[in-house]
Structure 1
């Protein structure tokens, strides 16, 4: 479990999604999203952090430090750390299996660091040995291929540092990357931190340009607190720095050939550790830009679903939707606008009554219910593109001939249109949407196959939930 005590005062910056309401009395946002009531002492600090923008704000006294601590805990603000030399505290573990050219580039970028290469039974064992020796890395070899998780565990057993950086052999890192990540661990609650992983490739093919916009390992340009139900729910282990203490309960599950990183991150979260994504550091990862390899990798990621559902029941449902919102949308699609409006109004009234004791005005309940209606529609569209893609593609074919199919198609395509507007990829809109549909279907096919083979419906079954959480207090 995390060490006790509060972290030293550090600058914090406002999360871009968080919104102050009613003069700062409430915050809408966080990880996961919710309604947080702020005490009078917290409101002024929250407003000043929001107004400070990307430069952030340092708490001025013990009271503000406690407020910052609570907002960090809820994902409403994020730490702004200052890079400093400290790499002696970390050992870098690099699992390797052939691909000597990529391993050479990886180790070249790590020169000067404490590096352990774990050769996972490469065919060219001598080539791996020469590279490790040339770059000053220690070498451990598996006699038989055991997979990336097992290789990382072997490397961990040969390291003594309090912080462990796991890095895939097809990654290259920039100078000072650890100096920028390790200060996160000044907060004793932080168990793991990951940089942003961006694609690396030669050429300018359609898939290369698509990868630049939508790499499966790229967790985005914004800092995130990784939590169940949050906008970012996992991190890849392509580049991941972990506190050794946080691995006391076990590192990577060796039986998992894919999804082992998701499993580890979820166990860290369940144990109470903070897991953070810091896009201020960018690591480059070799991208798959051949169509077959590109689609196959998405499929392979999806095949982890059954194993993850077995190890973490209930955490991999394709969509969680409010019963109120489901009823409202079904009625609206059935062309019964008045009953749909009545359901939404009832949901708003119920929420307004629940939060009235906290001093919230009805307008806050209207905002929350409206956001929930949109979010649940987007979640359904996401599932129709992925786990339920056969239904989703049928809806696209039947759009215009069926109200249900037209509504389903809108939930699938509207978020992709928004992606086009906000990210402006170097891919024309039609091909971008088609590639997004194909990659989501490839992943969803992996989920379907793994769930059917294991006879585990969890990754395919939606969860109908009660619509409102209780308000938090900061």
Structure 2
């Protein structure tokens, strides 16, 4: 029997999370012989292949394992998955997500009602005392369109060429697909009954610093779709201005030291301290006092990384984006 729905899951060296996701798919209320699962392994690991085989045996689902010879990012992995799929409806989720039992059944009802593209609902439970990183990550709940929970007719993906593989990290590749669909005149409809739970995974303290690298892809998305970017992507202008102000203040201080101008040193140093204290207070909100030194360090370093990656993206993609 040819499956109606093909579920595509990119994965990279997170077997325990992938196992949880596949187990959840085994509990779908939608007929198991009406959908298949394609796991695209960007890590090309034997252990993941063995896990997929074991999950197929345990759940009775039709699960296929597709290795990527070279790591190319989730956008390329999703393209590999939907292009190899047999279903006319492509469902996307991630290896760290838990599709709820009625996930596929709710989406199928939407397509029977005439939808071409659907976006489901994401639930991200927060811990009792969430960090600033937790709160930022949980903004995924309110995003318009995320590849952790969306469904497309194959014809829609073929029409826009699938995912833009220039977005080779897990950032903005979902918005790039959303904008390509909208520019092609393809409507995206909400499907709030198609629910996935996306638990927050523990993150190392430096994760917010590493995540600043993603800012370069904002420049690429802006270059591709300037009007839709300005209309649909949150700008956080106040925070960006604070980052540029902190970097500018540090440069002013260094310049004052270089020319032995105490007035410049005082002005730049005081401005930097005020802005860094402001950023630290935002990050520290609701956290134990013991986290203050760590949050102060992150707040002091983040502006330099953020500005660097923003400017790097602007230069690389030849677009003015600050």
| TM-score calculated relative to the size of structure 1 | 0.49
Deviation at 1:443, TM superposition (A): 5.4
Residue 257 of structure 1 corresponds to which residue in structure 2? 168
Alpha-carbon separation, structure 2, partners of 1:187 and 1:319: 27
Residue 294 of structure 1 corresponds to which residue in structure 2? 208
2:309 equivalent among 446, 451, 465: 446
For 1:236-255, what aligned pairs fall within 5 Å after superposition? 236-249=146-159, 250-255=161-166
2:25 equivalent among 107, 110, 118: 110
1:195 aligns with 2:106: no
Residue 468 of structure 1 corresponds to which residue in structure 2? none
Deviation at 1:211, TM superposition (A): 5.1
Please state whether the residue corresponding to 2:152 is helix, strand or coil. Answer: strand
Please state whether the residue corresponding to 1:114 is helix, strand or coil. Answer: strand
Please state whether the residue corresponding to 1:452 is helix, strand or coil. Answer: helix
Alpha-carbon separation, structure 1, partners of 2:40 and 2:80: 7
Q: 1:197 to 1:277 in 2, by over 3 A?
A: farther
Residue 148 of structure 1 corresponds to which residue in structure 2? 74
Structure 1 unmatched runs, 5+: 1-87, 221-231, 321-377, 396-400, 418-424, 461-474
1:389 equivalent among 216, 220, 243: 243
Q: Is the 8 A contact 2:79 2:163 kept in 1?
A: yes
Higher helix proportion (structure 1 or 2): 2
Q: 1:161 to 1:266 in 2, by over 3 A?
A: same
Deviation at 1:236, TM superposition (A): 2.6
1:165 aligns with 2:91: yes
Q: 1:105 to 1:282 in 2, by over 3 A?
A: closer
Q: Is the 8 A contact 1:197 1:239 kept in 2?
A: no
Deviation at 1:247, TM superposition (A): 0.9
C-alpha root-mean-square deviation of aligned residues, in Å? 4.3
1:307 aligns with 2:220: yes
1:219 equivalent among 132, 135, 141: 141
Alpha-carbon separation, structure 1, partners of 2:145 and 2:306: 17
Q: 1:139 to 1:302 in 2, by over 3 A?
A: same
Structure 2 unmatched runs, 5+: 27-31, 57-62, 250-266
Alpha-carbon separation, structure 1, partners of 2:243 and 2:223: 23
Alpha-carbon separation, structure 1, partners of 2:103 and 2:241: 36
2:15 equivalent among 94, 100, 106: 100
| Larger gyration radius, structure 1 or structure 2 | 1
Q: Is the 8 A contact 2:40 2:65 kept in 1?
A: yes
